[in-house]
Structure 1
Amino acid sequence: MAVAGDEEVSHSHGMPPASTAQNQKLDAGALFLIDVGGGDGAGSWLHCGYHLTTSIVAPALLSLPFAFAALGWVAGVVCLVMGAAVTFYSYNLLSLVLEHHAQLGRRQIRFRDMARDILGPRWARYYIGPVQFAVCFGAVVGQVLLGGQSMKTIYVIARPDGTMKLYEFVIIFGAFLLILAMIPSFHALRHINLISLVLSLAYSACATAGSIHAGHSSNAPRRDFSLPNDNQDRIFGIFNAIAIIATTYGNGIIPEIQATAAPPVTGKMFKGLCLCYTVVAVTFVSVAISGYWAFGNRAEGSVTYNFMLDDGTLLVPKWFLTMTYVFILLQLSAVGVVYLQPTNEVIEGLFADPTKPQYSTRNVVPRIIFRTLSIVIATLIAAMLPFFGDVNSIIGAFGFLPLDFVVPSILYNLTFSPSKRSFLFWLNAVIATVSSALAVLGSISAVRQVVLDARTYKLFADV
């Protein structure tokens, strides 16, 4: 188990050895929540793959046809492929850095641990830590909002004249997520995340089949693949689309996921990434291409919205659309609880007593109180701000792009010091530089979209 000195101790019963507890300040967040190596040594590369897939292959991928609408066929496919290649490469770089430090006897189990050891404590405290927290908690709020919207859609399909409001469904979904939030550790989510992997394949298949069916429907709107005529709209649309694609590939918790693997960790994350990106290839490509083919530049923020016309006409059978949203709804809960882990880890580190057993009253009571509080806050934000997707775009551009594209290249170059004449050094430098520019431009585009949409903002709006 990890301690403040990053040594490993045994806690087969959730209790560290007395000598260790007396001589060192234990890190309760690492000890209880990240649960290095799964505690019982069962964390395998398959489990890493399940965690990775849940954190990346999420319902956000249903927005890919919308991104294609701003890019067109050629640029859309190029950005989709480049996003996969760069993120796979970057995540592997992070894994190699983590493996290197583990072999030196200092296993880094959190993003801020990497930043502290390689960049310095100020970078960890004032940049990496806060940005990761904002990105992950923003993702939790986003999943709660999407869960509420999915529940409302199912409700509207069943009862078109129903009177329940969006914020009511958001609260219901938040209550459900609260139950899952009590699962004690990251490693304990492995079976849920396996189910999540299957669900992602299921709703992606439904979205693809639904798009193909709708594209051949006589009621479908005429396809138009033209791009915006206004140069300003086109430029900002391109940057926004790139930010959407980059955020869709976003992860932000690679060190925490790798920490669940049992030692030795060498090669396990690479295998997990291969499993994850096999699912990515199947889901991202099929949804993006079929959705854009079916709806062109009319593709909406989620391709499933295109299955319902403004006059209430459904382009797919009612049972099929309901089934699709059930799959989405169930996976959203898994994604939400995965991105809640950094928040839980911080809470555990602040309020738990590592010298007491994990399931002692002293540790269980504050865990329940503060995890409940974090879910209540996320649910309240989601209910109040049904336009949170716009805010999350800013968080994604400002957070996911640096964490997943820029920082890995910098950490690798600083750790391994490749020759400045080598291809690897300059490849990493180019990725970091270009990604930094895209992060700035994507943030500007996202802020502009918030300003444009501000006229329709209303707290607790029923959208």
Structure 2
Amino acid sequence: MGKAKNAENDSTKVYANEAAMDIEVLDTAHQISSDSWFQVAFVLTTGVNSAYVLGYAGSIMVPLGWVGGVVGLLLATAISLYANGLIAKLHEHGGTRHIRYRDLAGYIYGKRAYSLTWALQYVNLFMINTGYIILAGSALKAFYALFRDDDQMKLPHFIAIAGVACGMFAICIPHLSALGIWLGVSTVFSTTYSIIAIVLSIKDGIRSPARDYSMPGDDDTSKVFSTIGSAASLVFAFNTGMVPEIQATIRKPVVKNMMLALYFQFTVGLVPFFAVVFAGYWAYGSSTGAYLFNNVTGPIWVKGLANISAFLQAVIALHIFASPMYEYLDTKFEIKGSSLNIKNLLFRIGVRGGYLTFNTFVAALLPFLGDFMSLTGAISTLPLTFILANHMYLVAKGDKLASSQKLWHWFNIVFFSIASLAATVAAIRLIVVDSRTYHVFADI
């Protein structure tokens, strides 16, 4: 009895019925079941209000317009909350706590699904991490351009600096739960650049003449593919493909607490998101760029503060989406104990530093990485968040669901499968078009 009690209190223990699936479920080297739902809510909100939000007025609203953009964002909010809730409710399916997405898929489907899910998730998170390094580098470049009007420093140089900063942060923070106070710091940074973006956009919008809100594009074909790509960005804005990994850090009752965190994320947490996106598009219309602070006008010191805040927040946010890879590596090589242990410290320097070095290289190499991120979203984010979530819930609940509920889940599976296919085609077309314009290591 004493041994069982100790196991129950072990913050890294994973409970799994390995006989139910043809894979080994490893105890995690990271801390689990330690965080309040409020801290987890801030983890989720940090991701959704990251520096990515500064690009959505251009990448979502411009191609979709007022009606398509507003309706699309509201629908994406509701659908994303529903899909993430399905995954959260399966966290303890079969009396087993599934702290990794691949563990849940493996439990329900078997070994092949475990491997496929891990591959899709890895690609998805790798591209998100690489995108954060580009965002951080772009924010640094924008800050530099406020004070220096020369070509001494190119975007790849700023990306390299951002990569070093992300690596140093990854070495210092051992696991997701250890973010702690940094979530508050991140909130300060995101609040800073959000308020500045909203205020300066409204100021410019009041002073500027009537804006053009028409959908850009040389022909109808271009507009159609742009619309499809933007529709894919709608779901990419709210979803991570790592709900089980985040839920693993929450205290019991894990399902109830995770649902509270999700409700916070998709209500209060989205207020600054919508304010930045709508204010930016209202102020600049179809001329809104991929980085909102390249459009706004205002005092140099204010724009400088906003860009530095965006840079620092991107460094913190990247750590959230890199945590599944860190957990995998730390668990595989049994990196446990004090984070200041010399062995553990050297491991993080070598392994995490190497991982982020590769991220940084890819970020600098491909100037139009956003196209590849659209492709990644189509082939991984959509399947993980919507197709797989609905099908896993359908399989897990089985006969407990009414016929109407089963029909609803099948409708979602078919609909998002078609959407994933369409988004894949649109992303490939965009990559082909942009590959004719840009070269590697370009300064854009």
- 1:60-209 superposed matches below 5 A: 60-66=52-58, 67-101=60-94, 104=95, 106-125=96-115, 127-161=116-150, 163-182=152-171, 183-209=173-199
Relative to the length of structure 2, the TM-score reads 0.89
Which residue is equivalent to 1:32? 29
1:158 shift after superposition:
1.3
C-alpha distance after superposition, 1:392-428 (max 9, x if no partner): 1211222111111221111111111256654432332
Note the residue ranges of structure 2 that are not aligned, 5 or more in a row: 1-5, 15-22
The RMSD of aligned alpha carbons is: 2.5
1:283 shift after superposition:
2.1
- 1:308-457 superposed matches below 5 A: 315-352=297-334, 360-417=341-398, 421-457=402-438
Contact between 2:211 and 2:285, CA under 8 Å: does it hold in 1? yes
1:46 aligns with 2:38: yes
Distance change in 2, residues 1:361/1:284 (3 Å): closer
Contact between 2:251 and 2:257, CA under 8 Å: does it hold in 1? no
Task: Describe the SS at the equivalent of 1:62.
Answer: helix
Moved more, 57-66 or 72-81: 57-66
1:459 shift after superposition:
2.1
Task: Describe the SS at the equivalent of 1:108.
Answer: coil
Moved more, 234-243 or 273-282: 273-282
1:76 shift after superposition:
1.3
C-alpha distance after superposition, 1:222-242 (max 9, x if no partner): 511223472211211110110
1:295 shift after superposition:
1.6
Which of the numbers 264, 283, 307 marks the counterpart of 1:294? 283
Task: Describe the SS at the equivalent of 1:352.
Answer: coil
Relative to the length of structure 1, the TM-score reads 0.86
1:224 aligns with 2:225: no
C-alpha distance after superposition, 1:200-255 (max 9, x if no partner): 3332222222221111234x7x5112234722112111101101111111211100
Distance in 2 between residues matched to 1:331 and 1:418, nearest whole Å = 46
Distance in 1 between residues matched to 2:376 and 2:29, nearest whole Å = 28
Contact between 1:15 and 1:357, CA under 8 Å: does it hold in 2? no
Contact between 1:207 and 1:287, CA under 8 Å: does it hold in 2? yes
The percentage of counterpart residues that share the same residue type is 29
Task: Describe the SS at the equivalent of 1:449.
Answer: helix
Contact between 2:28 and 2:327, CA under 8 Å: does it hold in 1? no
Distance in 2 between residues matched to 1:296 and 1:382, nearest whole Å = 29
C-alpha distance after superposition, 1:347-394 (max 9, x if no partner): 12332266x777655544333311111111111111222222221121
Distance in 2 between residues matched to 1:251 and 1:136, nearest whole Å = 8
Contact between 1:32 and 1:358, CA under 8 Å: does it hold in 2? no
Task: Describe the SS at the equivalent of 1:274.
Answer: helix
Distance change in 2, residues 1:194/1:412 (3 Å): farther
Amino acid at match of 2:381: F
Distance change in 2, residues 1:280/1:401 (3 Å): farther
Distance in 1 between residues matched to 2:390 and 2:295, nearest whole Å = 38
Distance in 2 between residues matched to 1:398 and 1:8, nearest whole Å = 39
Distance in 1 between residues matched to 2:62 and 2:199, nearest whole Å = 19
Contact between 1:187 and 1:260, CA under 8 Å: does it hold in 2? yes
Moved more, 365-374 or 139-148: 365-374
Distance change in 2, residues 1:200/1:249 (3 Å): same
Distance in 2 between residues matched to 1:110 and 1:434, nearest whole Å = 26
1:111 shift after superposition:
0.3
Distance in 1 between residues matched to 2:341 and 2:51, nearest whole Å = 37
Amino acid at match of 1:130: A
Which residue is equivalent to 1:276? 265
Moved more, 450-459 or 236-245: 450-459
Distance in 1 between residues matched to 2:191 and 2:323, nearest whole Å = 24
1:275 shift after superposition:
1.8
Amino acid at match of 2:141: K
Distance in 2 between residues matched to 1:118 and 1:416, nearest whole Å = 11
Distance in 2 between residues matched to 1:161 and 1:353, nearest whole Å = 46
Distance in 2 between residues matched to 1:439 and 1:282, nearest whole Å = 28
C-alpha distance after superposition, 1:178-205 (max 9, x if no partner): 1111211111113212322343333222
Task: Describe the SS at the equivalent of 1:216.
Answer: helix
Amino acid at match of 1:395: T
Amino acid at match of 2:211: R
Distance in 1 between residues matched to 2:352 and 2:194, nearest whole Å = 31
1:328 shift after superposition:
1.1
Task: Describe the SS at the equivalent of 1:161.
Answer: coil
Note the residue ranges of structure 1 that are not aligned, 5 or more in a row: 1-6, 17-24, 308-314
Amino acid at match of 2:393: Y
1:211 aligns with 2:201: yes
Distance in 2 between residues matched to 1:342 and 1:200, nearest whole Å = 23
Task: Describe the SS at the equivalent of 1:223.
Answer: coil
